[in-house]
Structure 1
């Protein structure tokens, strides 16, 4: 392999933002957020909206069906209405 052209493949923690489920794996993704894992080491934290813990293919049921999209959650969080709702 050529030197200096491949990204670093390091340990990272992925966290499902819907359920809070976390798992440690290897990835080339980077993050400025970190988390201390059970082994006492600190790893980059990558937040994802869907993982094997909440995806219907793996769970067999639909979880968080009424959660809404990012825009809907933002509007609800800051108690705002969409312009077309006025």
Structure 2
């Protein structure tokens, strides 16, 4: 894995403010990659408490299935509503 690319991805996630979300694809593109899956892998394997991983959702606004309960709970604590299983990306998407 390109460690410089992975660190750029982690820094981008750290930059997403509370109450906002971004997508795996947004993270990948902003870091210089074409792979949303790589962004997911980086978050799964390399993130720590300083990385608000739960602010990253899929392209359709849904949380990661295996983390749904924890992710939606953390987002709710920041005021992000998940309706019908999705975050409204038109209103809450963070872009650089």
- TM-score above 0.5, yes or no: no
TM category, shorter: under 0.3
Higher relative contact order (CA 8 A, sep 6+): 2
TM-score between the two structures when normalised by the length of structure 2: 0.24
Which structure has the larger Rg over C-alpha atoms? 1
